[in-house]
Structure 1
Amino acid sequence: MKHYFDTDTVCLTSHTLALPIVEIAIQRGVNSNRLLKGTKLFHEDLQNPQKKISFTQLNTLVSNAVRLLPDDGLSFLLGQHWLFNQTSHSGQALLNSKHLTQMSRVLQIKQFELCPFVFFVPYRSQTHTHYILNFAIATPPPLVAAFYFEMITAQISALCKWRFGFVNKITIKLPFSKPKHIEQYYAHLAIQYQFDYPCFSLCIPNELLHVKQVSTPPIMCHYHLQQAHNTPHAVGFIQYVCDLLLQEPKSVCDDIAQQLDISPATLKRKFKQHNTSMQTLKDTLQKQLAVISIGEKGYSNEQAAEQLNFTDLTNFRRTFKRWTGMTPSQLREIMMLKT
């Protein structure tokens, strides 16, 4: 069995995101043919519950939607729609989880059904747990990536408000500057949010991770997990490579190619197809660890450099600035201003 799928693999259900995007856009007066231009899909195709699409097709659709409905809040509406229309057993297991820790576990074991295009890496500090979200299949263009991040932010905000009621204590940190349509954030989000962070991060105080939901019987999560389809699924190409790099950070292209049972030349073509590279993925994982260590855990430059196996402190500072656009000291100042 192939353990990963590519950006052009037709394996994503159309009714989860693609069909709602089209339906909401049509309600706003957008012609479906313009919306689906370049996707090789038709509106009638998406109405078939068995229709599968690729991540490339979904990205093209989102790109068209962003262009045709700029600043419209479609991403936030889509996130809320996704949350309140979880009819699958995996979705019901998520909504009936006992607490946030169990929710994160359900998201991990049922990722393909619930969130196949992103994955998260948890980092725990003394006071908070930080979930860093990354794209699992391929790296979308910046505007498309921002759309997905807004959609996920809306999902998290609605979930916390609906199921827990502690929205003021959870913060989403977004990897882009404050957008022109900031009024959509005011209208749709209840949780706290920040812009210009080096990565997409969900920050939760540790004491909230095991706060129990009062509106759902915990046994229902176990029941729905038992009923859910248990066939193991592959993960996206980027996630698969990142998993290998997290296990063996010093891996080179030849090592990864061998793990994927392809030639190094084919691997390089795959990286290009998925809008990334070996060095980019390595830098991303190291950057995220450095940002958490310095910005959230309070590590000194020396401690962070040692953790990332840098022997030269000047080189670490230079590399950190290349990764994030700021020095470690500037990140600390920003974090102090926002606390």
Structure 2
Amino acid sequence: MTHNALLTRTDKTLPARQLAQSLVQVAVARGAGEQKLLRGTGIFSEDLLTAKPLSCNQLQRLCGNATQHYKGFDLAFQFGHHLVSAFVNDALPYFTHARNFGECLRALPSFQTRLYPFVSAFRYDEGDDILLVLQDAMGSGKQFRFMAEAYCAALVALARHCTGKRLALHFSFPFARPRQIQEYEEGLGFRLSFEQPFFTIKVARAELATPCLQPNRMFKQFALRRFLEQREYRVTLLDAVRYHLRRNSNATLPAIAGELDLSPASLKRKLADHDTTFSLLHDDIRRQQAIYYLQVQKLNNEQSALKMAFTDITNFRRAVKRWTGQTPSQLREV
């Protein structure tokens, strides 16, 4: 990877006609004023009708305005559903002609930086299920809940568009059950869990084999080739750092900066621009791994420590307590 391949919050590459226009249309339909939505974003009404490139910063400001002025509680779900049709002439042809839903799911990372760069998903295989842990790919901070909910709704809509069915996707959220539960049920279905350690989507492996309605290998490959020719960035900066930390949990900031063709000072500055630090990203990954192995898979300390490259069990226990606030035994009991 070179630094030119890494999408950051300030890079202007997102198509206004798809992302910004989709959000504005949904919000205006519920009584939000267009000018209030665009205020402070650097986006103008005429931009919504063009392919003018916008930055993630601008879209994040627009999301902030939309959540403030939208009259209702289902903005994220409406936006997510709307996104699928917004890319009908861009990325959607690939998914339309895929062989099955599993192929659609595997392809999503290739399209992420143009379709929806705010959320990425790390995949764990669990025998009969796969688990997608949603990650903040663009430093959305407090807005990540909105971004993640929109991602979940978009996945529901994509599955229905491609397969003609509402697949059995199970969604888990790291917050209490909301009072407006009907919006979640209408947007995502009834397989919902709350007060969980992180945002996840669980998909039964049998659902991955659900065939798409219009499979066509030639059309699919043509759509992918056309899309990749237009794509400017392969991955977000935050996901690139996460990738190297997962490969080597002991990697240092200078080492990863070198892998990304950046100076340590530049990488540190760019992470600060995304409201995070190297240490925070590292701890978040290790917290995620500890919860997955101990709470989800119910592995014992020795098995979990081995998977997380610890050679000393005492150090493992201390690290888990620091990352999660709980001991390994407490995590397994949840």
What residue is the counterpart of 2:223 in the other structure? Answer: 224
SS at match of 2:131: strand
How far apart are 1:255 and its partner, in Å?
Answer: 1.2
> Take 2:330 and 2:20, find their aligned partners in 1: how far apart are those partners?
40
Asked if 2 retains the 8 angstrom alpha-carbon contact of 1:97 and 1:221, the reply is yes
Q: TM-score, normalised by structure 1?
A: 0.87
Sort the Cα spacing of 1:83 and 1:288 in 2 relative to 1 into closer, same or farther, 3 A. Answer: same
What residue is the counterpart of 2:38 in the other structure? Answer: 36
How far apart are 1:249 and its partner, in Å?
Answer: 2.4
Report the more deviating stretch, 70-79 or 53-62.
Answer: 70-79
How far apart are 1:183 and its partner, in Å?
Answer: 2.4
What residue is the counterpart of 1:85 in the other structure? Answer: 86
What residue is the counterpart of 2:170 in the other structure? Answer: 171
What residue is the counterpart of 1:293 in the other structure? Answer: 293
Asked if 2 retains the 8 angstrom alpha-carbon contact of 1:167 and 1:190, the reply is no
Report the more deviating stretch, 192-201 or 60-69.
Answer: 192-201
Question: How does 1:277-316 map onto structure 2 within 5 Å?
Answer: 277-316=277-316
> Take 1:88 and 1:285, find their aligned partners in 2: how far apart are those partners?
36
| Percentage identity across paired residues of the two chains | 29
Matched, 1:15 2:17: yes
SS at match of 1:261: coil
> Once superposed, what is the RMSD of the aligned Cα atoms?
2.4
Sort the Cα spacing of 1:12 and 1:28 in 2 relative to 1 into closer, same or farther, 3 A. Answer: same
Residues 92-144 of structure 1, C-alpha deviations (whole Å, 9 max, x = no match): 111332112211232133333333332222111222111222122x22132x1
Residues 39-65 of structure 1, C-alpha deviations (whole Å, 9 max, x = no match): 1222222222x2111111111111111
Sort the Cα spacing of 1:232 and 1:310 in 2 relative to 1 into closer, same or farther, 3 A. Answer: same
Asked if 2 retains the 8 angstrom alpha-carbon contact of 1:174 and 1:194, the reply is yes
Asked if 2 retains the 8 angstrom alpha-carbon contact of 1:12 and 1:52, the reply is yes
What residue is the counterpart of 2:118 in the other structure? Answer: 117
Asked if 2 retains the 8 angstrom alpha-carbon contact of 1:176 and 1:197, the reply is yes
What residue is the counterpart of 2:144 in the other structure? Answer: 145
Letter in 2 for 1:211: T
How far apart are 1:166 and its partner, in Å?
Answer: 5.7
> Take 2:101 and 2:296, find their aligned partners in 1: how far apart are those partners?
20
How far apart are 1:312 and its partner, in Å?
Answer: 4.2
What residue is the counterpart of 2:26 in the other structure? Answer: 24
Letter in 2 for 1:104: L
> Take 2:221 and 2:249, find their aligned partners in 1: how far apart are those partners?
35
> Take 2:63 and 2:292, find their aligned partners in 1: how far apart are those partners?
30
Q: After TM superposition, what 4+ stretches of structure 1 lie above 4 angstroms from structure 2?
A: none
Count of paired positions: 329
